[in-house]
């Protein structure tokens, strides 16, 4: 091997090592408070800001204020601690329903969802719906999911038992309602990926759908929730 080729190869190796070292340091800094994460989860959390910048934001709004054909407040879910939660208990508040996963590029949205819940819990309720529908990114049990969310993101908002949110014969009743205009009045859009957000207003009307790339504390969400 000529000295020129050798030096060129060594420079390439050195540059790659520097980039790799920088990436390792970046991931370590971004995850300094992470307590119960796999290596994959730590990498995804570290690169979440980049994922959000390149994602194409999609949304839909009930601009005509079409009323639901089936009463939202007639629905009921089971929380991950096996207790029943009636949607009628949310009357007078806006509700953010979001399908979640622990092993996704958008998992870091748990942090902003918790901030949203903490800051506006007098007028907004956030409910998470863990699901393993997209690339099997939520394989954990209900207990493991709750522990992961609490330890790494301080989640205190309600989490439902893990279920199916994508359209199928086994889709959860509440997601059937959210993604069928014959039930909610106007929207047929089911979750396109993990961390899609649906907003219900104080009167039980579905007003907005936001996909994964729309941040929970972004201007679009805040406007829809009336907390700009």
Q: Which CATH number fits the domain that encloses residue 73?
A: 3.40.30.10
24 shares its domain with 121: no
Task: Tell me which of 17, 104, 149, 196 is the catalytic residue.
Answer: 104
141 shares its domain with 37: no
Residue 226 and residue 94: Cα distance in Å, rounded? 9
Residues 99 and 191 sit within 8 Å (Cβ to Cβ): yes
Mean pLDDT by 10 residues, the chain (228 residues): 50 40 38 68 87 87 98 98 97 98 97 98 97 97 97 97 97 98 98 98 98 97 95
Structural domains counted in the chain: 2
User: Which of 29, 54, 79 is the endpoint of a domain?
Assistant: 54
pLDDT at res. 22: 45
Q: Burial, 53: exposed, middle or buried (Cβ in 10 Å; 0-12, 13-18, 19+)?
A: exposed
pLDDT at res. 28: 39
116 shares its domain with 18: no
Does residue 104 have an active-site annotation? Answer: yes
pLDDT at res. 30: 41
pLDDT at res. 37: 83
pTM above 0.85, yes or no: no
pLDDT at res. 8: 56
122 shares its domain with 221: yes
75 shares its domain with 11: no
Residue 132 and residue 101: Cα distance in Å, rounded? 7
188 shares its domain with 79: yes
Range of the domain at 32: 3-54
pLDDT at res. 49: 86
pLDDT at res. 16: 35
């Amino acid at each position: 091997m000529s000295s020129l080729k050798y030096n060129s190869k060594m420079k390439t190796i050195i540059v790659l090592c520097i980039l790799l070292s920088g990436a390792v340091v970046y991931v370590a800094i971004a995850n300094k408070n992470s307590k119960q994460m796999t290596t994959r989860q730590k990498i995804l959390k570290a690169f979440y800001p980049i994922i959000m910048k390149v994602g194409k934001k999609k949304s839909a709004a009930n601009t005509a204020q079409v009323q639901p054909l089936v009463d939202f407040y007639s629905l009921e879910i089971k929380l991950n601690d096996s207790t029943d939660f009636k949607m009628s208990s949310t009357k007078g508040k806006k509700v953010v329903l979001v399908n979640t996963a622990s092993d996704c590029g958008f998992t870091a949205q748990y942090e902003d969802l918790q901030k949203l819940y903490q800051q506006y819990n007098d007028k907004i309720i956030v409910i998470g719906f863990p699901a393993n529908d997209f690339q099997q990114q939520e394989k954990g049990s209900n207990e493991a999911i709750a522990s992961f969310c609490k330890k790494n993101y301080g989640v205190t908002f309600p989490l439902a038992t893990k279920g199916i949110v994508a359209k199928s014969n086994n889709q959860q009743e509440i997601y059937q309602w959210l993604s069928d205009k014959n039930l909610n009045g106007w929207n047929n859009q089911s979750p396109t990926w993990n961390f899609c957000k649906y907003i219900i207003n104080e009167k039980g009307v579905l007003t907005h759908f936001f996909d994964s790339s729309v941040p929970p504390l972004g201007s679009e969400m805040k406007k829809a929730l009336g907390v700009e």
